[in-house]
Amino acid sequence: MSGRVYVPCDAAAISVGADAVARVVAEQIASRHLNLTLVRNGSRGMFWLEPLLEADTPKGRIAYGPVSAEAVPGLFDAGFFDGKDHPLCLGPTEEISYLKRQERLTFARCGITDPLSLADYVSHGGYRGLERALGLSREQMVEEVIQSGLRGRGGAGFPTGIKWRTVLNAPGDQKYIVCNADEGDSGTYADRMIMEGDPFVLIEGMTIAALAVGATGGYIFIRSEYPHAHRTMRRAIAIAYENGYLGTDVAGSGKRFDLDVRLGAGAYICGEETSMLEALEGRRGQIRPKPPLPALEGLFGKPTVVNNVISLATVPIILDKGAAFYRDFGMGKSRGTLTIQLAGNIKYGGLVEKAFGLTLREAIFDFGGGTFTGRPFRAVQVGGPLGAYFPEWLLDTPLDYEAFAAQKGLVGHGGIVVFDDTVDMAKQARFAMEFCAIESCGKCTPCRIGSTRGVEVIDRIIAHQNRPANLELLDELCELMVDGSLCALGGLTPFPVLSAIRHFPEDFDKPAPTPIVHLADRAQETQQWR
Amino acid sequence: MSATAETWDADRALTRIRELEHLPGALLPILHALQEEFGYIDSAAVPLVADALNLSHAEVHGVISFYHDFRHAPPGRHILRICRAEACQAMGCEALVEHVEKRLGAKVGETTHDRSFTIEPVYCLGNCALSPSVMLDGHPYGRVSPEVADFLINDLRRRQ
């Protein structure tokens, strides 16, 4: 039997040399006449260990990392392909504590299989969710997702099943499933990883969604910054078509579902669902006022389910194992698992899939190992560029939608960006406003003009010009943006700005904390982000 | 995937447009195809695209100018996109930007005088556990120190 050795094809692994490692591994296999197959798997999500080389052995998969191309011949000399010891050997992959402590449901296959092998997918539990779904009525499928407690993982946290029910009950001869793969939040890469590492799970999830609501067409809107994910998804869709999992007769059910991929064009705002629909229709990505909800009048005016990649990729396991299985993970109203992405100045950056309820401290220190630089921790931004900055004393906040809202923050898409004590929070507040100004779609005035004025006011604060009056002005401006913006970009940009002032007043030369606007109340309303 | 920045050619543009005009919401796919073909979107493309999709020139121009990706002029032979979002900020991307700007003698958003490099900002490449991150001619690089950036630039220059 030919053994298998693995080198990830994930873009992050490639960014630190995985392609070069794979090239040398292939050369060594050929020159040593070894009976080995090189598989380009997805990433396990332990990025400080990338490129991670693995070998299939009778004792399971054995990991070596981080491996450089230069180290590969030595690994062959040592017999790594038989799991032999080497200074880079990390032991059995599944026993690495970072992985072992996780609860991988959505990412169950990621890093294990060949992303473009349908046989691998099916032999690792793939398409079991669809199989069970085909035996259910539409209402039963939707009910299963409602009962699972799954909430939109793009950031808004809206119950996925409720959205599906609205589309199911909407009249219409044509309905669509649109997958939001415009993962623009800094500190997030879960969507990219799953598309590159297990693309069929997303196709299966979208297929189940289509069957459940009666949709026959679907689009995955991928940001252009993700060329690898784009290529992998395109190939996976072609393979699914060739094998009868997409097209006129999905898995022999007689039902039709056509799926295509579209590329974004570098606009953060297109992560907002209505803006993304505009882009898909070939227009400027300016947001649409709601109502009408996209569930009733979405893509090309038709009822449309718009869900995030992770939401859709979680559907297969819910249908496979049942709503109760999934619901048993988590805390409070946050059911199931969160794909936490540790990023920025962090020692062990990577993807941690855990039931909701892990505290920020556990994520950053128990998993992440503290800062990369070894300097003291100072601040963390959770939930992307619209998420609040938290100081050390808020680190015991559990990762849970409601617990974060109570602290005027948001879980968002699960990105956690860590900063050490060299960070200047006035600069971070300025960047939040600047980013909003760069990315505003221009539809509404509070966002378009407010963000530019916000940068100017913060510049005056940084320049020590009449600080008390300018801080008060900034407070008022933020309140206006929160109350007056049409979507989450303008409505949530004040979160990072005001949290920086509130929790790090010393960077603004401020003696006492200032009252903050009623962000928590508005958070629920304005979180239509994805 | 080195950007070719070839000269504008209406016939080649029309071929690409014809391949895609049947798609629902064809405008973005067409604009991507044109940029892939020429490295930028020439203003002469606007009437061709508008005619094919039965849109006004203003609508097409409006879409081209809305999206950060679409270039209005030919880029340099190599495109270096440097991430400036929060995760990379936490790992010193601004110092990297400063270094690269000095090294290449061009600012972010500009092309070097010898037209070898265009430096573009990008807000997240999804490589946030290995910051600072850049993309050079479509290839991702993580943990990019100023030394690594120098190596990448020298390597390309040597091969020219």
Residues 338-367 of chain A whose Cβ lies under 8 A from any Cβ of chain B: 341-346, 349-350
Segment A318-371, tens digit of pLDDT: 999 999 999 999 999 999 999 999 999 999 999 999 999 999 999 999 999 999
Contact B67 A439 (CB under 8 A): no
Share of chain B above pLDDT 70, in %: 96
Burial (Cβ within 10 Å: 0-12, 13-18, ≥19) of residue A3: middle
Residue A243 · residue A284 · CB < 8 Å: no
pLDDT one-digit tens code per residue, A265-297 = 999 999 999 999 999 999 999 999 999 999 999
| Beta carbon pairs, A and B, within 8 Å | 158
Interatomic CA distance for residues A213 and B156, integer angstroms: 51
Show the tokens assigned to B114: 């010898």
Cα–Cα distance for residue pair A71/A18, rounded to 1 Å: 12
Domain ranges of chain A: 3-100, 118-327, 330-420, 425-526
Provide the terminal-to-terminal Cα distance of chain A, rounded to the nearest Å: 47
CB B92 within 8 Å of CB A371: no
Q: Is the CATH code 3.40.30.10 the one for domain B78-159?
A: yes
- Per-domain residue ranges of chain B: 10-66, 78-159
pTM greater than 0.80: yes
Contact between B25 and A435 using a beta-carbon 8 Å cutoff: no
**Which fold would CATH assign to domain A425-526?**
de novo design (two linked rop proteins) (1.20.1440)
What pLDDT band is residue A43 in, cutting at 50, 70 and 90?
Answer: very high
Q: Which chain B residue shows the shortest CA-CA distance from A347?
A: B129
Residue A455's alpha-carbon distances to A331, A477, A516, B28, in angstroms, are: 38, 11, 19, 31
Cβ A343–B126 below 8 Å, yes or no? no
19-78 in chain B: CB under 8 A from chain A: 24-29, 31-32, 53, 59, 62-63, 66-70
Q: How confident is the model over B75-95, as pLDDT tens digits?
A: 999 999 999 999 999 999 999
Task: Give the pairing of strands A36-39 and A3-6.
Answer: parallel
Across the interface, whether the CB atoms of A268 and B69 are under 8 A apart is answered no
Q: Which two tokens stand for residue A208?
A: 């189940």
Q: Cβ–Cβ of A186/B66 closer than 8 Å?
A: no
* B63 contacts: CB under 8 Å, gap ≥ 6: A282, A283, A284, B27, B28, B31
As a whole number of angstroms, the distance between CA A69 and CA A262 comes to 35
**Does B119 contact A at CB distance below 8 Å?**
no
Tell me phi and psi for residue B120, to 5 degrees: -125, 145
With b for 16 or more beta-carbon neighbours within 10 A and e for fewer, the A45-68 pattern comes to bbbbbbbbbbbbeeeebbbbbbbe
Q: How far is CA B9 from CA A227, A233, B4, B34, B41, in A?
A: 26, 31, 13, 10, 11
**Closest to A462 in 3D by CA, of A501, A410, A511, A513:** A501
Determine which helix (DSSP H) or strand (DSSP E) holds A12, and give its type and residue range. helix A11-15
Contacts of A191 in chain B (CB under 8 A): 126
The Cα angle at residue A97 between residues A95 and A103, in degrees rounded to 5: 90
Rounded to the nearest 5 degrees, what angle is found at the Cα of A516, between the Cα atoms of A513 and A519? Answer: 145
Q: What is the value of ipTM here, to two decimals?
A: 0.96
As a three-state string, the secondary structure of B37-67 is: HHCCCCCCHHHHHHHHHCCCHHHHHHHHHHC
Residue-wise pLDDT for A53-99, tens only, equals 999 999 999 999 999 999 999 999 999 999 999 999 999 999 999 99
Q: Does the distance separating the beta carbons of B89 and A350 come in below 8 Å?
A: no
Question: Is pLDDT at B5 greater than 90 in this prediction?
Answer: no
What pLDDT digit, counting tens, does each position of A427-482 carry? 999 999 999 999 999 999 999 999 999 999 999 999 989 999 999 999 999 999 99
Question: What is the Cα–Cα distance from A334 to A480, expressed in whole angstroms?
Answer: 30
In B, minimum Cα distance to A267 occurs at: B67
User: How does DSSP classify residue A307?
Assistant: E
Q: Which of A186, A262, A280 sits opposite B128 (nearest CB)?
A: A186
Identify whether the C-beta of residue B126 lies closer than 8 Å to the C-beta of residue A268.
no
pLDDT for residue A521 = 44
Q: Does domain A3-100 have CATH number 3.40.30.10?
A: yes
Q: Which residues contact A481 (CB under 8 A, 6 or more apart)?
A: A446, A447, A450, A451, A454, A490, A491, A493, A494
In this structure, the dihedral spanned by the alpha carbons of residues A79, A85, A90 and A91, taken in order and rounded to 10 degrees, is 90
Per residue, the 3-state secondary structure of A120-132, as one string, reads: HHHHCCCCHHHHH
- Asked if the model's pLDDT at residue A523 lies above 60, the reply is no
Question: A330-420 is classed in which CATH architecture?
Answer: Roll (3.10)
**Fold entry, domain A118-327:** Rossmann fold (3.40.50)
User: Token pair of A428, please?
Assistant: 């971070």
- Strand ranges, E, within A328-409: 330-331, 334-335, 337-344, 350-355, 377-382, 389-390
**Which among B26, B123, B140 has the least Cβ separation from residue A268?**
B123
Q: What is the DSSP letter of A261?
A: E
CA distance A21 to A479: 52
Return d(Cα A35, Cα A3) in angstroms, integer. 7
Rounded Cα gap, residues A233 and A179, in angstroms: 12
Residue range A230-258, pLDDT digits in tens? 999 999 999 999 999 999 999 999 999 99
Question: Both tokens of residue A40?
Answer: 């380009």
If phi over 0 gives left and psi between -120 and 50 gives alpha, with beta otherwise, what is residue A315? alpha
Rounded CA separation A20/A23 (Å): 5
How confident is the model over B34-66, as pLDDT tens digits? Answer: 999 999 999 999 999 999 999 999 999 999 999
B25–A346 CB contact, under 8 Å: no
Residues on chain A touching B1 (C-beta within 8 angstroms): 227
- The sign of the CA dihedral A415, A418, A424, A425 is positive
Q: Are A401 and A333 in contact (CB under 8 A)?
A: yes
Query: How far, in Å, CA of A487 to CA of A276, rounded?
Result: 13
Task: Note the helical H segments in A329-422.
Answer: 360-361, 401-406
Angle at B82 between CA B78 and CA B88, to 5 degrees: 160
CB distance B79 to B36 below 8 Å: no
Judging contacts by C-beta atoms under 8 Å, the chain B residues touching residue A267 are 66-68
Q: Is A218 helix (H, G, I), strand (E, B) or coil?
A: strand
Residue B33 burial class via C-beta count within 10 angstroms: exposed 0-12, middle 13-18, buried 19 and up: middle
